[in-house]
Amino acid sequence: MDQRRLQQALRDAHFDGWLFYDFRKLNPLAYRVLGLAEDGFYTRRWFYFVPAQGDPIALISAVEPHVLAELPGRRRVFRSWGELHQLLKETLQGANRLAMEYSPMNAIPTMARVDGGTLELVRSLGKEVVSSANLVQQFVAVLSESQMEMHREAGRRLVAIKDELLGSIAQQLRAGAALTEYSIQQDFLARIHAAGLVTEGAPIIAVNAHAGDPHYGPSAEASAPVREGDLLLLDFWGHLPQPGAIFADYTWMAFLGARVPEQHQQVFEIVRRARDHGIAFLREHVEQGKPVQGWEVDQTVRDLIAAAGYGDFFVHRTGHSITTVEHGDGANLDNLETHDERLVLANTCCSVEPGIYLPEFGFRSEVNVLVHPNSVEVTGVPMQAEIIPLLA
């Protein structure tokens, strides 16, 4: 835990303190911000209060007096619930505006980690509880220069693997080989591992109507054949094996034929324009030094797709935070699934991936962006400009 940095963030946000709470790992954000090992043995509830000024205080159970020992500050032990309530009251004396891991109206579920009863307890002491959502991402989503370079390198490897895979698919189709979504998925996964990358699960391989299901995944038991004339979606991700490595996550489309159908071209062009419009919107704000919230980027992308007549078929957010996990805890580009008012911070990474999902087929184009203090960098380049006719 970087106490100095954490307390400065509290003062900048005009909080009196940050009250961390957990019971049986229900609040993983607390562990990540405080730098606690998430595989430790915790069976009793604990509080850890970091005031904007002064020394932190840990409230720990007599059953587990060893927990939080790696954190700075005073340690106070409780035995009964009554003692806990009294210690909490004493600990928070003079602190009125507190950050906790909750989300008003559950607007951002990944930030809603403190149960309603605990919130009632803290509020019963006359305290104002404010969401720590913007604070959290400062400590779990902001990347170092080395992490950004690891993201770039993972992206370079993934794009090269994608190109090799598409070449192999074309060769096998010309040779009359029997392919399935699952066989291509397993081939792709083996290539990702051979390139020294680590992944969470297998890539998404989907043809035709399956591409209209955003999170479809083939299996050995249920997998469509892949033939000439099919539309193919590839969604793939991975990171370097080093500690602290950041994921890269991309989606590409290909047509398994010599000439892309006109309807496919038209729908993909809308997706491509929406993707580029979202990147341009974000870039303009960053370059001009204007704060931008996640929902704002999503809405401008969504408006473009809606104006083209496909608003009801864009069924997910425009983008998600990317960190050491594929879906990180920074701001998402989202005004559909959630209303994400978190600021898009400098030195963070997120995806930009609009899609249109119809009953007969679906399209998605996904790149990643590194947001710098005064610029926006797109990774996973070159960005897909048109559908690839694989057998041309």
Confidence (pLDDT) at 265: 97
112 and 194 in a common domain: no
pLDDT tens for residues 200-221? 899 999 999 999 999 899 999 9
101 and 49 in a common domain: yes
What is the reported pTM?
0.93
Confidence (pLDDT) at 21: 98
pLDDT tens for residues 86-110? 999 999 999 999 999 999 999 999 9
40 pLDDT higher than 90:
no
Which of 117, 140, 163 is the last residue before a domain boundary? 140
151 and 22 in a common domain: no
Confidence (pLDDT) at 344: 98
Mean pLDDT of 102-129: 96
> Peptide bond before 382: cis, by omega within 30 degrees of 0?
yes
pLDDT tens for residues 216-263? 999 999 999 999 999 999 999 999 999 999 999 999 999 999 999 999
Confidence (pLDDT) at 223: 94
111 and 162 in a common domain: no
Confidence (pLDDT) at 204: 97
Confidence (pLDDT) at 39: 85
pLDDT tens for residues 125-137? 999 999 999 999 9
384 and 248 in a common domain: yes
125 and 208 in a common domain: no
Mean pLDDT, all residues of the chain: 96
258 and 202 in a common domain: yes
Q: How confident is the model at residue 1 (pLDDT cuts 50, 70, 90)?
A: confident
126 and 180 in a common domain: no
Which of 140, 170, 205 is the last residue before a domain boundary? 140
Confidence (pLDDT) at 256: 97
Joined together, the tokens standing for residue 96 give 């009125």
Joined together, the tokens standing for residue 48 give 């850890």
Which of 97, 113, 140 is the last residue before a domain boundary? 140
Nearest to 204 by CA among 157, 153, 245, 253: 253
168 and 124 in a common domain: no
Q: Number of folded domains in the chain?
A: 2
Structural domain harbouring 130: 3-140
| 150 vs 154: CA distance, rounded Å | 6
CATH number at residue 323: 3.90.230.10
Q: How confident is the model at residue 264 (pLDDT cuts 50, 70, 90)?
A: very high
pLDDT tens for residues 316-362? 999 999 999 999 999 999 999 999 999 999 999 999 999 999 999 99
Bridge partners for 220 per DSSP? none
**Percentage, residues of the chain above pLDDT 90:** 97
CATH number at residue 102: 3.40.350.10
135 and 151 in a common domain: no
pLDDT tens for residues 77-86? 999 999 999 9
Confidence (pLDDT) at 38: 83
317 and 212 in a common domain: yes
237 and 90 in a common domain: no
